[in-house]
Amino acid sequence: MKIKNVNKKATARLEALIRGMDQPGDAKKWGETGGAIMPLVVDYLGPAQCGGKLFAVSQFGMENGDLMRDPEYVFLRREKEGTKFWYPIEYTNHYVGVCQQLVIFGADRMVVQPSNQRAAVAYINGSSNETGWLEILEQYYPEAFSESLSPTG
- Structure pTM? 0.91
**CA–CA dist 47, 61 (Å, integer):** 27
Which of 9, 63, 54, 58 has the alpha carbon at shortest distance from 29?
Answer: 58
**CA–CA dist 82, 105 (Å, integer):** 24
pLDDT at position 57 is 98
> What distance lies between CA 34 and its chain's CA centroid?
21
Q: Where are the beta strands (DSSP E) in the chain?
A: 27-30, 40-47, 53-63, 66-80, 83-93, 98-101, 103-105, 110-112
Which of 135, 121, 144, 124 has the alpha carbon at shortest distance from 39?
Answer: 144
- Residue 130: which region, alpha, beta or left (left: phi > 0; alpha: psi -120 to 50)? beta
Which of 139, 130, 146 has the alpha carbon at shortest distance from 37?
Answer: 139
Contact 149, 35 (CB under 8 A): no
The 10 Å Cβ neighbour count of residue 101 is: 15
Contact 69, 58 (CB under 8 A): yes
* Local confidence pLDDT in tens for the 153 residues of the chain: 689 999 999 999 999 999 999 999 999 999 887 777 889 999 999 999 889 999 999 998 888 888 899 999 999 999 999 999 999 999 999 999 999 999 998 877 889 999 999 999 999 999 888 999 999 999 999 999 985 444 444
Contact 42, 57 (CB under 8 A): yes
